[in-house]
Amino acid sequence: QKEVEQNSGPLSVPEGAIASLNCTYSDRGSQSFFWYRQYSGKSPELIMSIYSNGDKEDGRFTAQLNKASQYVSLLIRDSQPSDSATYLCAVHSNYQLIWGAGTKLIIKP
Amino acid sequence: DADVTQTPRNRITKTGKRIMLECSQTKGHDRMYWYRQDPGLGLRLIYYSFDVKDINKGEISDGYSVSRQAQAKFSLSLESAIPNQTALYFCATSDRSDKVYFGAGTRLSVL
């Protein structure tokens, strides 16, 4: 069974610091990787996608992919209270997305 | 207007009742999905459809059925609702880049 693992948290980070979220996956054949943000009671929102090894930056967000080690991470620079949410990692495997259970991030002012 | 619209947004029903959750999209995507989300369990796939004539069971399809009435419409039915189907339900669509876009969700309570 294909799996995506995330630490459930909560991860508490001071405002202005870097938040680092990690995700590991089991399917070595996966080619597409995504990070979603979900505020409490709301739907998940796509924030980053990454398809090749290395880093991909978009504003304050950086996604990192290491296929050899089967992990993908999300860095949030200059964390803001509005970044407090649950972050879901999703990995494309066998025609569908496999979802992690999410990491709850709390940014403390 | 939202690109992926779910109705109703909230529903309370009784055990044994049949209910339907509806989803429509204006994104022009062929692929549509129904997920449920329970606290601590993340998103679980109920059914997915890659086009009007292609419907597939997901991880947890027992007790559910779907209908793809058109490219833009994908409905989920609970034939005989039970309390452990109380959850937050999401409809979603995707393009061929595998990026998934969600509706606002339906909060369902089965008493």
Side chain identity, residue A83: D
The predicted structure's pLDDT at residue B2: 67
Residue of higher predicted confidence among A95 and B105? B105
Note the pLDDT tens digit of each residue in B16-63. 999 999 999 999 999 999 999 998 778 999 999 999 999 999 989 999
Contact flag A88-B42 (C-beta cutoff 8 Å) = yes
Q: Chain B residue with minimal CA distance to A40?
A: B39
* Predicted local confidence at residue B39, as pLDDT: 82
Chain A CB contacts of B50 under 8 Å are 95
Rounded CA-CA distance A101/B88 in Å is 14
pLDDT(B14) > 90: yes
How does B2-31 read in b/e, with b if 16+ C-beta sit within 10 Å? eebbbeeeebebeeeeebebbbbbeeebeb
- Spans of chain A, pLDDT less than 50: none
Mutation target vs B (from A5, A31, A43, A104; most B CBs, 10 A cutoff): A43
DSSP A82: G
Given this model, what pLDDT does residue B95 score?
Answer: 85
Q: Say what the pLDDT of residue B97 is.
A: 80
CA-CA distance, A18 to A32, in Å (whole number)? 25
Q: What is the mean pLDDT of chain B?
A: 94
B42 touches chain A (CB under 8 A): yes
Q: What is the pLDDT of residue B1?
A: 57
**Which residue from B minimizes the CA distance to A42?**
B104
- Give chain A positions within 8 Å (CB) of B98: 32, 34, 92, 97
Distance CA B4, CA B103 (A): 5
Residue B80 confidence (pLDDT) above 90: yes
CB A92 within 8 A of CB A31: yes
Number of Cβ pairs < 8 A linking chain A and chain B: 42
**DSSP-assigned states of every residue in B26-47:** SS--SEEEEEEEETTTEEEEEE
| B90 contact residues in A (CB cutoff 8 A) | 43-44
Among all residues of chain A, which has the CA nearest to that of B47?
Answer: A96
